Chain A
Amino acid sequence: MLEPKSKSHIRLPWNSLGLVAVLIVLILFFGLMSEYFFSAVTFRTLVNQIPALTVIAVGMTFVLLIAGIDLSVGSVMALCAAVMGVLIIDQQTSIAIALISALLVGLACGAANGFVSAKWRIPSFVVTLGMLEIARGGAYLVTNSETKYLGESVGFIGSPIAGLGISAALIAAILVVVIAQWVLSKTLFGRYMIAIGTNEEAVRLSGVNPLFWKVLVFALAGLLAGLGGIFQLGYLQSADPNAGIGLELAAIAAVVIGGTSLSGGRGSVVNSFLGVLIIAVMQAGLAQLGVSEPSKRIITGLVIIVAVLFDQFREPLGRLFQKKRAA
């Protein structure tokens, strides 16, 4: 069937292009400012730092899509890593069992978030704020407030694979991005997520029970926070009960930079990933320049706002782009 292209269609690739443009501008900027920035090592280091934030941003994208929010991801990540660390160090369990346990803990936290907020119609902001404290307390409890040092036993997760330069965690994280984007654009689950974020009442009146799907989304966000915890553990080779403080805000920032609407119904996993890259490039560049802490904060804040402003005006820009191409 041959159909003329509609407006909504051109919008998304252009939006990704916009984010890529922002990213390139940032890289060029830092490349000009620091002679050491523009090197393979810098970028290899940078991408090996992002697996945890990437998978957590994927979960956050889904949660924001259904017009929810999950503030507990940072704490849940720390809890999952703590559980895994304690199991390996103190309980001497195999790494496989520790890995599965960490994922299950994340899943359980997420499912609890989803069930409480969807079943009793409590705003997810409040429920996950509670979980933020609960999971952090849990992390202190299981580790006895100490950083558990694991050493090389978990190094295979986060250390660069020889000859490839990137870590197993990064490959897994990119796989998660690919699968999540596929789920979002191709599957029933993806369709229901967008629909719930657009008009939950219409979904209910169409005979689809939003409760199940909402719980599933939060459970998935928890599971991905658990996976993020595993990546973090592999990266740091230790389980830090203080890990991921404020990570939820970094994840939300990445997702919002990626153009996902805070009011639900619109979003893209790949764009969230680009958002993560933008934040990572910015942090790496500012660190290499040795910019002072106050300036770092101010610049990071400004870039978030500018990126979102850019997103606000992407439709007019997109149209302009179209016209030029047509001319």
Chain B
Amino acid sequence: MNRLTADQARQLAARVVALTQADAAETLVISADDSLTRFADNRIHQNVTETDTRVSVRAVLGNRQGVASTNRLDDESLAGCCADAVAAASAAPADPEFPGLPSPVPVQTPVRAAEAAAGFGPEQRAEVALGIVRQCSSRLIQAAGGVASTLQTVAIGNSLGVDVGMETTSVRATVLAQSDRGGSGWASFFGPDPAGLVADALGDEAATLAQRSEYPADLEPGSYTVVLAPEAVADIVDFLGYLGFSARSFEEGRSFLSGNLEKRIMSELVTISDNACAPESFGLVFDYEGMPKRRVPLIENGVATSVVTDSYWAARTGRENTGHALPAPNAFGPMTLDLMMGAGDSTLDEIIGSVERGVYVTRFHYVNAEDPVPVTLTGMTRDGTFLIEDGALATPLKNQRFTQGAVAALNAVKGVTSERAFFDVMLGSALVPGLLIDGWEFTGQTG
């Protein structure tokens, strides 16, 4: 069974909508080829591929809803899935706040499926892994990481006429380089195709950082000026989206934006939007109800400006539907999946050069939230943490634990890099710069 084209997926969605004996129905089709080559200890140890097509049906009876899904695509199974959705809706109590399925809105779907990604097979992934491993093994450094490709087709149809479909591709590569002298380095690539993926350069970046970070030293816990490389910033921005940018958390008083719209809550250097339609994006341009994803300014020069919605939370709050629905049934509310933080005008090197004493962080590890409203996060640094002295990276440091409010940290931003990079994060992707932040709280270090 092959991955469906956008037209095939739209036709399947329409067929399943027609099969559903309900007042209204919506079908989501996700068809994907996912492949991944993993390496560790300078050898490939895992190499997998998967093809699957999943159909999810939302049946509506009056203002009651039920959802069922299957990956069996024969007529009998699809009919059974539709019947399960209808049975679920029949059992549900009436929901007076359900606004009904959304009506169609025109969606312009750009071509975001790269042919080069489709030809990126196991031999090509192995070649990338080999290039990375050579850079590391020649320096007696152990390489680990992965080379992955995703070819995905998503289509949504509903009985009111929504009929959208789109193919996307992505390629991801990661490199962890580790020396037996305590050095650890990291490099990553995330893009729509393998065109920008240069294995030797990626391996060299990680291996050089690993060599540079050998024999790490202790750091006293305390408040430090930090320079966060873009990948570290991606984790922070990701949690802002998870905890605060949704109309649901806003309305329930659980967001740092609750009661703060039109107020300055972050540094004026901070501008954040959600924008799936930006030319550099390579994801879906419609949400999981088939509504166009709109660019939503969330923080503009430090001022809280807006939240994202889906059809339910738009109707409930009287806001515009910004096109941020997750697949039904959605217990989380609308979510940002394409966050972008504005760039500054200084290079990363210039920002490091401006710091008399501070800490440079390549990336974070295992970040989690301890307090939702201030977005208090804890996590560890990883794969290249350095003391900054007199404007240059100095002593490598052991991995540090931080316990820090993200909103407070973004209110203490003193510099933003001109370089930005895409990362795949917990919620979709994020395009972020590096940041210079005052008063970052390190609360411990690894043993």
Is chain B found bound to chain A in the same assembly?
Answer: no
A interface residues, Cβ below 8 angstroms from B: none
User: Which B positions have Cβ atoms within 8 angstroms of A?
Assistant: none
